[in-house]
Amino acid sequence: MTSRGELSDRLWEDFEQSNPHASRIRRLLADRGDQVVNDHIGLRTYGDARISVDVLAQPFLGEGYVAADIYVFEHKNLYVRHYEHPDPSRPKMVISALDLDAFSFAFQDTVRGLIDQLDRASLDRSDLPVAGRLWDLTRRQYVLLANESEYAAWVAAFGFCANHFTVALDALRSFDSLEALAAFLQEQGFGVNVQGGEIKGLPDAYLEQCLTLADPVPVMFADGSLDVPGCYYEFLQRHPLSFGELFQEVETDSTDRISQRTDPL
């Protein structure tokens, strides 16, 4: 396969193509003279050794990324690790995996059946994080997963790609707050996720976020097409700590609210 450059660029190309609202927002910001800097890119997988966070991270390590903090959100059955590049202009990668043991046997069988479809060559791909969906499934299987976990259903429908891109508010000079940005997005006709509040997180937590609604996109399943929630665009403000460093944690507990946003059914 010919190289299309860094994995982060390829993640963006695919993200933009399948989520036109993100592309329009980025263009609107650029038209205002704002510099769009990606703080991080969120990727999702299942907690199965064959496609674990470590497996998905390998190609990023090959690009010079290094493993950083681990977060465990037990109430969401999520294991999360973030990866940083020595070049601070490169976005962090935030890779999360869903603990399958917390779900029903039918759910686990369905997910493992998807992963069983991957051959060794697929699992060894150096472009696995941008490989897209490498398995087939039916609409019934999608709905079965969605009934227990929107996260699992999203991974089943879209496979390996960016779940969200996150823009650093501090680099957007024409906005001085997330509130101003949220108002602008709404004026321009974009949906903003208001579950848990338009602005998620608290200044005390040093980190606040605003998210667009995930537009439904048509996905082809083995037995026909279904419109399902796609990806979202995230905006993040890191508040300076007293010693002047920007807080480097990547996800707040608003991960809870984030995952509710793409509730599909």
Binding site for Ni ion (CB under 5 A): 42, 166, 234
Q: Which is nearer to Ni ion, 76 or 221 (CB)?
A: 76
Q: How far apart are CA 255 and CA 160, in angstroms?
A: 20
Find the shortest distance in angstroms from Cβ 89 to Ni ion. Answer: 18
Sign of CA dihedral 50, 56, 62, 65: negative
State the residue number with the nearest CB to Ni ion.
42
Find the shortest distance in angstroms from Cβ 39 to Ni ion. Answer: 8
Sheet of 92-98, strand order: 66-73, 78-84, 92-98, 38-46, 162-168, 232-238, 207-211
Find the shortest distance in angstroms from Cβ 151 to Ni ion. Answer: 13
Find the shortest distance in angstroms from Cβ 248 to Ni ion. Answer: 13
Q: CA triplet 224, 225, 230: central angle to 5 degrees?
A: 150
Q: Which is nearer to Ni ion, 84 or 234 (CB)?
A: 234
Q: Which is nearer to Ni ion, 48 or 234 (CB)?
A: 234
Q: Which is nearer to Ni ion, 46 or 92 (CB)?
A: 92
Q: Which is nearer to Ni ion, 149 or 166 (CB)?
A: 166
CB burial of 145-155 (b: ≥16 within 10 Å; e: otherwise) equals: bbebbbbbbbb
Residue the block writes with tokens 């037990």: 74
Q: Which is nearer to Ni ion, 42 or 264 (CB)?
A: 42
The SS3 call for residue 24 is helix
Q: How far apart are CA 91 and CA 85, in angstroms?
A: 7
Find the shortest distance in angstroms from Cβ 255 to Ni ion. Answer: 8
Find the shortest distance in angstroms from Cβ 249 to Ni ion. Answer: 11
Q: How far apart are CA 199 and CA 193, in angstroms?
A: 9
Residue 221 phi/psi, 5-degree rounding, is -110, 175
Q: How far apart are CA 152 and CA 146, in angstroms?
A: 7
